Amino acid sequence: MSGSQRWLRFLPALATVVLWSLAPSGPAWAQAGDGWSFVMTPQVWVSHIAKNGFAAAPVSNVQGGLFVVNPDGSILQNPFPSESSPNESVDPQWGLQIAAQKGRWTFAAGFQYVTFETRNDLTYVNPQGVPLCIFNVFTNQNSCVNSGQRWDQEFVDTTRMDVDLSVSYFFPDVVRNRLDASVGGGFKFIYASASRQFENLSQTAAIVNGLGPGLYTICGQDNCSDVGTRDRVKEFSQIYGLTIPLNVTTHLTSDSKWLLPLSVTPLIGFEHRNDRNIVYDLTLPADVFVDPFTVKVNRQDGTKFAYGFTGDLSVRYIITDAISAYAGFRVQYIHGFDKYLAYGPLFGMSARFGGK
């Protein structure tokens, strides 16, 4: 997908953005008076998504319902290992925060949106060095891929949306005129959908793809008795978690115009994944001539414990009593079924309305 197409996909979501997760420092600079005030914070996180934990790696045992048998009758285990990497250097994540404050209490809610692409490179590997050959009945030709050669590539397009709700309490002057802090609790919901497709197929993989058609193995039964194939699949993940927003803000100057906020927000909850009967792992017999031929599907969906954190370190400049700007760096790590890791610079501006 081209960059322009990604921006066009983002525009409708940008128009409907209402909320964003907690700003990196929390709006401690706006804590003033006993009346209600409201803070709006647009933000962009220029993230590098190193690991896409919302989509499992492709199955390494079976491609297109095909399993590999060596000449001695042994079934080759994991003949198609894969290596995952981001297909883009940066993936901007956009959002907006709205926070309501009264006294030392802050009530915030937010929304975040990003689309990104991951590439998985699959290689055919046989420790015995035996090539994998497929006979094409339509062309009457034999096509082979040698051990160590590329089998195909999988491209995973993921759309992720976050919703955050939180309440926090502000502790001014933990160190007089130098250090403020806040602590709170909240809820985070993440929805991620992924569309997956194999491309750049080797000649041998292309033959297998045409027989299915498709290289994704689909099994509804645990013994894979209803095996089928697809050329494109989708999966969905939802993460529900409790959060604990923690913030420490250092006053860098005596007039408190320059601030150094450090925020860490742990998350604990669970991930629910629906992979639409995609097979990610199969337990195969060791020898087709000796062992009873049984196949057991090991799935990568259902519900699993999830945990992680988001950490921000930034510098904020107070332009006026109502407007401030900040720049910093964010790291986010989430571990459910798989690991998600993203990091990169972030930028934003906050505007405060109301208050005494």
Range of weakest confidence among 22-26, 225-229, 290-294? 22-26
Model confidence band, residue 63 (pLDDT cutoffs 50, 70, 90): confident
Mean pLDDT of 45-70: 86
Q: Which CATH number do you get for residue 233? A: 2.40.128.100
> Residue 33: what pLDDT?
58
Range of weakest confidence among 2-11, 98-107, 170-179, 347-356? 2-11
Hey, which of 35-49, 201-215, 219-233, 288-302 has the most confident mean pLDDT? 35-49
> Residue 309: what pLDDT?
97
> Residue 238: what pLDDT?
97
Q: What is the pTM (predicted TM-score) of this model? A: 0.85
pLDDT tens sequence across 157-216: 999 999 999 999 999 999 998 999 999 999 999 999 999 999 999 999 998 888 878 898
Q: Is the pLDDT of residue 353 over 60?
A: yes
pLDDT tens sequence across 241-262: 999 999 999 999 999 999 999 9
Expressed as residue numbers, the domain containing 247 is 3-354
Higher pLDDT, 96 or 6: 96
Higher pLDDT, 106 or 10: 106
| 268 vs 241: CA distance, rounded Å | 5
> Residue 17: what pLDDT?
33
Residue 217 CA neighbour count, 13 Å, CB half: 27
| 182 vs 164: CA distance, rounded Å | 17
Model confidence band, residue 5 (pLDDT cutoffs 50, 70, 90): very low
Please give the tally of structural domains in the chain.
Answer: 1
Range of weakest confidence among 7-11, 146-150, 154-158? 7-11
| 118 vs 49: CA distance, rounded Å | 9
pLDDT tens sequence across 204-247: 999 888 887 889 888 888 777 788 888 899 999 999 999 999 99
